[in-house]
Structure 1
Amino acid sequence: MRTKVAWILTPLLVLFMSFSYGQEKTITGNVTDQDGLPLPGVSVLVVGTTTGTQTDFDGNYTIKANVGQVLRYSYVGQKTAERKVGSSSTINIQLAEDAEALEEVIVLGYSTKSVDEVTGSSVQVSSEDIKDVPVLSVDQALQGKVAGLQISTTSGTPGAQQDIRIRGVGSINASNSPLYVIDGVPVVSENFSGSANRTSLSSLVSLNSKDIESMTVLKDASATAAYGARGSNGVIVITTKRGKSGKAVFNFSSVLGFQNNAYNKRNPLTATQRASLIDEATFNAYGESYDFEIDEARDFAIANNLGNIANWDGSEYDWPGLIENKDALIQDYNFSASGGTEKTNYYASLGYNETEPTVIGDSFRRISGKLSFQTWLRDNVKLDNSINVSNSRQNPVLENGAFFNNPHLTRYYMNPFANPYNADGTYNINSLGTSVFNTLYTNENDEVYNKYTRATTNTKLDWELIENLTFSSRIGLDFSLSEYKSYNNRYHGDSDGDVNGSSTASDEKNYNWVSQNSLNYQFKLGSKHNFDVTALFEYQKNNYTYLYAYGENFSTDGLTNIASAGSNFDASSSFTDWTNISYLGMLNYNFDGRYILDATFRREGSSRFANGHRYGNFGSVGLGWNVHREAFLEGSVFNELRLRGSWGVTGNSGIATNTYQAFLAYDADYAGNGAVYPSQLGNEFLSWENGETVDAGFDFGVFDNRLSGSFAYFNKRTYDLLQNVPLSPTTGFTSQNTNVGEVVNKGIEAQLNYDIFRGEDFSWSISGNFATVNNEVTKLALDSTGEDINPSATSTYKTTEVGLPIGAWFMRTWAGVDTETGEPTWYVNGVDGEVTSNYASAARVNQDEASALPTFSGGLSTHIEYKGVFIDASLYYAGGHKVYEQYAQHYFRTNSFTLGSYNGVEELLERWQQPGDVTDVPKLVYNGADNFHATSSRHLYDGDYIRLKDLTFGYNLPSKFTEGIGLDAISFTVKGTNLYTWVKDDGLKLDPEVGAAGYTGLVTPPVKSVVFGVNVKF
């Protein structure tokens, strides 16, 4: 919220002289900021007069006043100061930074407005709030700071993409991700990982959080309509740092720390535990048939080598500990320089980050550099340019599925009887007693990486044609290159045996460029009618190319490139592109700063739709009333009271390119010849998905803004949904994309801030936010009989029906374990009453209309400072939803799957053993098939959780010490992240922070970290 825009404004020099009776004299002096830098264009007012003289633009001033009069000095972003004219003819003044004034500007991407001019729902987070958060993807730093913004860490592997939703999910098949705008340019934010089975790679890792000035989250139609279709799911505006005039200022920061998994209480069976359960399961399965007692079950199991127990030497092998990288190291170093003259300023930075994962594997590494400058080419022409380049290397984990080389799967599925090592100390790859791979071996003998290079440049020219009429031209270029390589060794893993080693490589190139040309005119009619009008044309073009190659059969070790492969070569390439063209008009009108009208119209065309349906019309109208500026509130407790409301329509084109076209595919082989076949039906009438949003709220500040906050209600109706609708098999196609269906999201959002103490030596403030979202499907596509078509009909977990949330949980209802027989039971009607142990006889029902997404979320934070010592703490919470433990289908089985082929979890120790036992785990039978593991509410948990997001202790060294060693400032910090997690449901053992789909998975959970930081300014 500390957006410093003073240097891009030309303050009016207002000078008034009075007709007073004191002796008139000429006063000279200079005005500087808190760093001693000159402030050009300061307003100097002789209090109570109506005339004055001009100031110079170098910070020096000359003014005539009478002895005894008061001079008032003011400048944008600085605290106003006053001095009384005495005997001296020289008055030098130093103005202090006014944090509250700086926070009065909101960056909206295409425009920058004062808070009093904003009618939409938006929240701005400053660099102060994110600078010390140890995250690689800057959007992670927003978690818990913005009401209505839900962020889930889908993987804690360094560089992974985050799952972000603003005000819930509005689309069934199209994109629900927000648009990112960096320095006014819409950018592509995709997953640039080379494999869908491995960890995702966020394009936002290319940004260094130290280079961020602010991030603004735009939520309602009035705030997002300017971005048309791409703003339908909300907009996150990122503004990077610029320099300011004055002496060169250098900043160096160093962060060093460690991280571990934040929350994971799901533990696999140890070897001893598994052995005892094998005894029991063996007796329950074969004891009666083969006439042996429970104490003889081990002999029977060994004789038949059940679960590979015959090869167990009685030792405990800590597979979970071996694949874990405890206290993974975090290193982050940044250096920046900024400064300039009254005509030109600059900002340059260099950063390096190295972060180890919490499982075995190579570190994530990134080096980044940024250079920006602004210069006045003429008095009315300004050039603004920034360049950002970064290179990242990630070790992507094979974690997006039940793969035998997934290290997290090794933790739970590896046979605990298996020794990781041979007698000679080499890795055991031949006698594991399971099909799960020895991850220790593959980690050292396979090679895999994602390399991601991104270069962006943003150039803008502002030309003031006449007073207050400015022509602006901007071009943003964004080039991403992602290189992926995966080599699997010849002896053990995915490519042993006949494959004899394999290598995969791919290159992805994404080139995105945006051109914007606009006219902005600010004018007044009379003294109270203020207008700000903008007309803008935008052209965006995106080109994406993909090149893939594969080879097998390597003749020797050490050669990992495809050129050294001997057979089974494969190659592929593809190209896609899309274009957006937009015409935008924006009007902001205010009457005397009290009544605000904000109107936006955007006509946007997308190449994703057919001719005749490519253009959509979107817009919004917002109204605001600054009640605190009314005469009847003068002298009241209100420093701020603003009522606001908006209505608008946005669109969504977030579907695959060329979806509207009927396709023939040419990749078939027929008797050795190329073949052609129909592959896509297409839909030439396919067009925009639309969203209509109503938003109403208020902002307030009372008691000198000691207590401030905001409240909003929103209702968003998404219609003409882009749905993939099933077709009759007689058509020869499985589905077709059409515009049909409707979804409604509504809820409330509230933010509250309170300064408990305000003092020169001691201050204490708290803030919190809370948001709800209710998601409901109100219309679906109809089949030939007039019945709704369920988009989730093929899912064994979910349903999408009118009156329910998108993807509501739909499964059999768990009734518990039969206390007499030990068999699992489910409710026959899916609700209550009669139960059955026949899984197929139980009905599937929606589970309390539960959603996979939180229905409420929020954050709570506090800041305490005493004489340079400060403490910051923040919580994040979410709830009202349910999450499903999808891997329960594997490690919760009560038979040979867990006790023979793989392994189970320690909750199996709570199994039923004798009549009368009350438990949630059925009887163990080695050759049984009771379906306990199958999809049911037994493995569906309340998702409510609270997380201690950040805890920071810091100290700002007093200036009397820093000045003595030639430094401007030094600060020391110790920050903990995700230190504690509280989960409502005791059965939820895996991390509760899951993606929008609502499934816990065998992926790297979010991490908790402790880092030590030093910041030096000189």
Structure 2
Amino acid sequence: MKHATLAGFPCWCPITIVLIFLSLPVSLIASPPLQSTAQHQITGTVTDQEGLPLAGVNIIIKDREAGTMSDENGKYTMAVQDTDILIFSFVGFKMQEVAVAGKTDVHVTMQEDIMALEGVEVNAGYYTVKERERTGSISRINAEDIGKQPVSNPLAAMQGRMPGVYIQQNTGVPGGDFNIQIRGRNSIAGGNAPLYVVDGVPFPSEPSSAFGNLITNGGNSLNGLDVNNIASIEVLKDADATAIYGSRGANGVVLITTKKGSAGKASLDLNIQSGTGSVGRFMDLLDTGQYLQMRREAFANDGVEPTPANARDLLLWDTSRYTDWQKKLVGGTSYLTDLRGAVSGGNAQTSFRFGGGYRKETTVFPGDFGYRKLSGFLNLTHRSEDNRFRAEVSVNYAAEDNNLMSRDITSFIFLPPVAPPVYDNNGNLNWGPEGGSFNNPYSILRRTYTTGTDNLIGNVGLDYEFLPGLRAKVGMGYTSIRAKDVQVTPWSSIHPLSLSYEEANSTFGNKNTKTWIVEPRLEYAKTIGRGELRILAGSTFQQTKNESLYVYASGFSSDALLEDVASAGTIRSNSGYSEYNYHAVFGRVNFNWDSRYILNLTGRRDGSSRFGPGKRFAGFGAVGLAWIFSEERFLKNSLLSFGKLRASYGTSGNDQIGDYGYLDTYSSTVPYQDHAGLYPTRLFNPGYGWEVNKKLEIALELGLAHNRVTLSTAWFRNRSSNQLVGLSLPPVTGFSSIQANLPALVQNTGIEIALHTQNIRSEDFSWDTSVNITIPRNKLLEYPGLENSGYTNTYAIGKSLNIRKTFRYTGIEPQTGIYRFEDVNGDGRVSYPDDLQAIKAIEQDFFGGMHNSLSYKGLQLDVFFQFVRQTGNTSLFATRSVPGTSVNQPVEVMERWQQPGDVSNVQPFTQSASSAQTIAFNQSLFYGDNTIGDASFIRLKTVSLSYTVPARYLSGMKARVYVQGQNLLTITGYSGLDPEYSTSMRLPPLQMLTAGVQLTL
């Protein structure tokens, strides 16, 4: 297939720019030797304005490589020369320079910066900005927040901690998938995933494994990152923050920055952690007595006599037996081992950090299953003595090995409690009496699924100052994700009654995703009176290639040969290849007048190979404004420490659709007599273009009492139009749909609130609290021709995209006990689709989190609660089986209707597939709004308790011991396994408890 290219961008541009930078004079890198001067010891204490000691203050010698930090008592000791100048720096305090001048004791009182936010730098992608001066919406968590959680995926560490960012864990299986939405769902049928950027390099958001529909749900590419090597995660949300990423930032941007080395004596950091995991809560299911009562009553209600054919559980199985299938299948204990090490150091010109980690995590399922990750990283940073030339190299690598079964067996918890044992007396799988009356869940344990993934991220950054205020930069990055999956179905796992049409087989999958990117840019800064002007201009050249190969093999003579393709009697294969090219130019103009009035203009011209000729290029831009009104004279010396009003408006696009969608495509037919043909699979349609997302935000930020109380509130509105959806085609065309733009308009609005308070601050004790809450609303504003589209029974104008069109449940008929639904059209019967209504949505009404951090001397306690008010699938329908059949049920079914006049929400038991109860139940299961209910919860997400051993007990070493808990308690009225992900029966997020020790040498 001919690859799509972008006209107008010469292919030699990236190479030329790289050669220009590599040809810079190396003399700029050289550093003169240090002069030898007599040294002496100096000691001192660092305190704040109230005389309280400050721990962790950075103390470095100006123009030299030496440095140290103050201990928990604010004390420090270091070797200096009489001519040295000491620089003291600490977040929230003004930097101070103190000359040694022959002194042996230097005590420093740090002055709190009333504008404490001023010193905090926030990563905005192509530039950094001071927290107090940003015009866009950016949320951030740092390494300290991440390190207090025993997680292996950055998304898990972000849950509940950022306003406007909703993250849902889909499964508790290690290496599993996550859902993330930043300020709601914008696209009807296109992608809604954010852009991930790791150290300036785009990182794929699609599933990492070759198979996308098995136990891990395809996995998540971010599992390949070493969480403990992450320095910070910033999420860009509004137009001002995301517009510089153009179309790639339509659904938000997640910026991940890894840790860097620092100047000073080389140090070794070791971290050892071990723990266990388990399912935190179980469903309340019927015991043996209740189950037998349900079954016998069902036969009596139907007037049917139990027989071995229709009542194997009553007549063939041991009715005195009780098996708690929840405990047996998902009630085990998983074990976690995490080992990490890093070496860092360097001098004033060159710093380094390298190390690696090993993580092993087993499952709660029976059997020897587990996940392993081996990671390594390297970072080198160099700058010339005059600071005109800078260079940085960063490499991150991780190898994952996940050994699981092919299917999550959590759904088997509804097996009858009287079901036979899983093994017979000979140790073989037990299929029950009468030649196979038992669907043995342990057969799934033999259908193994293994996936191995290699993740490589590398980037090089070069930076040179040609003239004062004018810097040229280039970033070059490369990512590679290689996945190799094998799924095996042995003979021994196949039910005896299925051997006539099912045979042992294996499926092999290989997937390789490679991305390279080159981004040259120029930055210019100039002071104009009381104002500061900053200009950024750059270009992006990016290419992503996807290659895949799938092989299905069957006809094996033995289970021992299943992973040897050559031993198969029948082999079928399928391969795929796609190439995505993306080119862009972008610019930013920022003007800051008197640290009060800030204007930020951003623009980007994007080109994507996913669109046809004439549709590939589009322009996007944004404007951001900020007024720091606390700097006005009339507010000076007031209770208000900081006040800022900001607003932004702009556009971004979306091209998250398949590659080559505008071209005719063909696939080969099954070979016949050594010949194969081609048949069309898609029609040519070059007429569709970009989705457009218009974003508006207004926000207020306040700081009181020297910023010990900070409040941030924001209102946003995102409108996404020109929706990329599949346009339905008549059957006579031979195709079901064709890619097209429709003038549908989707709106997301919301309110975000973030509050931080320093409740207590004394010499030995401190207590901080942070709370965030988001109130989102999603609505389909316009969809011309919706009634004639393929989505007429899916969406409704004025309603959320997350609705279900359902029958309105009106209760149980008191005389018959059968479900009743509203007859909307009045024709005397309830039918699909005439009586469907847009009734309920499965979505969040609000979500957020609350974090309390308390410290007493060397003790540190962090407690974080996540809360969500939402709707979800009710647990009564988790079994997908009508009460009365040979499937266990929640105990709520015992409150069933039994006689005329009873008031209940549960129908009388039935075992018949054609009874009135079964027909009504199936109607309810697929279309009834009584399948949707409250799934709100408050979760004790994280508890971390640590103790830092006083330095006086250690000889030049730092030590910290800690215990951590994750998902320790869930408060909810939901009666299912877990309210977070209620749309299918999967293993819930595990309750983890770990302990560890961190040593710094």
Q: TM-score range by the shorter chain?
A: 0.7 to 0.9
Residue type of the partner of 1:792? Answer: Y
- Tell me if structure 1 keeps the 8 A contact 2:349–2:385: no
- Tell me if structure 2 keeps the 8 A contact 1:330–1:356: yes
Determine the C-alpha separation between the residues in 2 that align with 1:106 and 1:496.
61
Matched ranges for 1:712-727 at <5 A: 712-727=714-729
Match in the other structure for 1:561: 563
Matched ranges for 1:527-566 at <5 A: 528-566=530-568
Given the alignment of the two structures, is residue 852 of structure 1 paired with residue 842 of structure 2, yes or no?
Answer: yes
Matched ranges for 1:192-591 at <5 A: 192-198=208-214, 199=216, 200-265=218-283, 267=285, 269-286=286-303, 300-302=305-307, 306-313=311-318, 314-361=320-367, 362-376=369-383, 379=386, 380-399=388-407, 406-413=408-415, 416-429=418-431, 431=433, 437-443=439-445, 445-493=446-494, 496-497=499-500, 499-526=502-529, 528-591=530-593
Determine the C-alpha separation between the residues in 2 that align with 1:549 and 1:131.
41
- How big is each residue's C-alpha offset from its partner over 1:304-348, in whole Å with a ceiling of 9 and x where there is no partner? 651342221222233332222522111111111111011110111
Q: Cα offset for 1:197?
A: 2.4
Residue type of the partner of 2:254? Answer: I
User: Which residue of 635, 640, 643 maps to 1:641?
Assistant: 643
Q: Cα offset for 1:143?
A: 1.0
Determine the C-alpha separation between the residues in 2 that align with 1:562 and 1:330.
32
- Tell me if structure 2 keeps the 8 A contact 1:776–1:806: yes
Determine the C-alpha separation between the residues in 1 that align with 2:81 and 2:680.
77
Task: Describe the shift of the 1:975–1:604 C-alpha distance in structure 2 as closer, same or farther (beyond 3 A).
Answer: same
Match in the other structure for 1:7: none
Determine the C-alpha separation between the residues in 2 that align with 1:85 and 1:228.
49
Match in the other structure for 1:828: 823
Cα RMSD of the aligned pairs, angstroms, is 3.1
Task: Describe the shift of the 1:890–1:977 C-alpha distance in structure 2 as closer, same or farther (beyond 3 A).
Answer: closer
Q: 3-state DSSP class of the match of 1:152?
A: strand
Q: Cα offset for 1:886?
A: 9.0
Matched ranges for 1:452-851 at <5 A: 452-493=453-494, 496-497=499-500, 499-526=502-529, 528-667=530-669, 673-740=675-742, 741-782=744-785, 788-793=787-792, 799-829=794-824, 840=831, 844-846=835-837, 848=839, 850-851=840-841
- Tell me if structure 2 keeps the 8 A contact 1:72–1:81: no
- Tell me if structure 2 keeps the 8 A contact 1:892–1:908: no
Matched ranges for 1:56-95 at <5 A: 62=83, 75=89, 79-80=93-94
- How big is each residue's C-alpha offset from its partner over 1:29-53, in whole Å with a ceiling of 9 and x where there is no partner? 99999688633259xxxxxxxxxxx
* Residue range with higher mean Cα deviation, 903-912 or 157-166: 903-912
- Tell me if structure 2 keeps the 8 A contact 1:827–1:842: no
Residue type of the partner of 1:913? Answer: Q
Runs of at least 5 residues in structure 1 that lack an aligned partner in the other structure = 1-9, 11-26, 43-57, 64-70, 288-299, 400-405
- How big is each residue's C-alpha offset from its partner over 1:147-170, in whole Å with a ceiling of 9 and x where there is no partner? 111011111111112100011101
- Tell me if structure 2 keeps the 8 A contact 1:412–1:891: no
* Residue range with higher mean Cα deviation, 236-245 or 681-690: 681-690
Task: Describe the shift of the 1:60–1:701 C-alpha distance in structure 2 as closer, same or farther (beyond 3 A).
Answer: farther
* Residue range with higher mean Cα deviation, 732-741 or 139-148: 732-741
Determine the C-alpha separation between the residues in 2 that align with 1:463 and 1:432.
80
- Tell me if structure 2 keeps the 8 A contact 1:852–1:883: yes
Q: Cα offset for 1:859?
A: 1.0
Identity rate, percent: 27
Task: Describe the shift of the 1:839–1:908 C-alpha distance in structure 2 as closer, same or farther (beyond 3 A).
Answer: farther
Task: Describe the shift of the 1:103–1:409 C-alpha distance in structure 2 as closer, same or farther (beyond 3 A).
Answer: farther
Determine the C-alpha separation between the residues in 2 that align with 1:103 and 1:493.
64
Determine the C-alpha separation between the residues in 1 that align with 2:382 and 2:289.
72
User: Which residue of 130, 144, 152 maps to 1:114?
Assistant: 130
Given the alignment of the two structures, is residue 939 of structure 1 paired with residue 939 of structure 2, yes or no?
Answer: no
* Residue range with higher mean Cα deviation, 343-352 or 812-821: 812-821
Determine the C-alpha separation between the residues in 1 that align with 2:189 and 2:111.
49
- Tell me if structure 2 keeps the 8 A contact 1:991–1:1000: no
Q: 3-state DSSP class of the match of 1:284?
A: helix
- How big is each residue's C-alpha offset from its partner over 1:162-208, in whole Å with a ceiling of 9 and x where there is no partner? 10001110100011111111112222122022323211211111111
Q: Cα offset for 1:687?
A: 0.7
Match in the other structure for 1:909: 894
Determine the C-alpha separation between the residues in 2 that align with 1:97 and 1:319.
62
Determine the C-alpha separation between the residues in 2 that align with 1:1012 and 1:153.
23
Could you tell me the TM-score, scaled by structure 1's length?
A: 0.85
Task: Describe the shift of the 1:414–1:390 C-alpha distance in structure 2 as closer, same or farther (beyond 3 A).
Answer: farther
- Tell me if structure 2 keeps the 8 A contact 1:598–1:622: yes
Residue type of the partner of 1:980? Answer: L
Match in the other structure for 2:864: 874
Q: 3-state DSSP class of the match of 2:442?
A: helix
Q: 3-state DSSP class of the match of 1:687?
A: coil
Determine the C-alpha separation between the residues in 1 that align with 2:133 and 2:57.
31
Determine the C-alpha separation between the residues in 2 that align with 1:484 and 1:639.
57
- Tell me if structure 1 keeps the 8 A contact 2:405–2:444: no
Match in the other structure for 2:873: 884
- Tell me if structure 2 keeps the 8 A contact 1:355–1:364: yes
Given the alignment of the two structures, is residue 168 of structure 1 paired with residue 184 of structure 2, yes or no?
Answer: yes
Count of aligned residue pairs for this structure pair:
923
Task: Describe the shift of the 1:88–1:303 C-alpha distance in structure 2 as closer, same or farther (beyond 3 A).
Answer: closer
- Tell me if structure 2 keeps the 8 A contact 1:695–1:715: yes
Determine the C-alpha separation between the residues in 1 that align with 2:126 and 2:193.
20
Q: Cα offset for 1:28?
A: 12
Q: 3-state DSSP class of the match of 1:474?
A: strand
Task: Describe the shift of the 1:776–1:841 C-alpha distance in structure 2 as closer, same or farther (beyond 3 A).
Answer: closer
Residue type of the partner of 1:1000? Answer: T
Determine the C-alpha separation between the residues in 1 that align with 2:97 and 2:891.
75
- Tell me if structure 1 keeps the 8 A contact 2:392–2:460: yes
* Residue range with higher mean Cα deviation, 923-932 or 801-810: 923-932
- Tell me if structure 2 keeps the 8 A contact 1:766–1:860: yes
Determine the C-alpha separation between the residues in 1 that align with 2:558 and 2:651.
62
Determine the C-alpha separation between the residues in 1 that align with 2:41 and 2:879.
79
Q: Cα offset for 1:1008?
A: 1.5
Residue type of the partner of 1:393? Answer: D
- Tell me if structure 2 keeps the 8 A contact 1:912–1:922: yes
Task: Describe the shift of the 1:436–1:616 C-alpha distance in structure 2 as closer, same or farther (beyond 3 A).
Answer: farther
Q: Cα offset for 1:59?
A: 7.9
Task: Describe the shift of the 1:102–1:253 C-alpha distance in structure 2 as closer, same or farther (beyond 3 A).
Answer: farther
Q: Cα offset for 1:371?
A: 0.7
Q: Cα offset for 1:634?
A: 1.8
- Tell me if structure 2 keeps the 8 A contact 1:725–1:781: no
Residue type of the partner of 2:152? Answer: L
* Residue range with higher mean Cα deviation, 181-190 or 615-624: 181-190
Runs of at least 5 residues in structure 2 that lack an aligned partner in the other structure = 1-27, 29-38, 47-55, 65-78
- How big is each residue's C-alpha offset from its partner over 1:593-634, in whole Å with a ceiling of 9 and x where there is no partner? 111111111001000001111011011110111122222222
Residue type of the partner of 1:479? Answer: S
Q: 3-state DSSP class of the match of 1:281?
A: helix
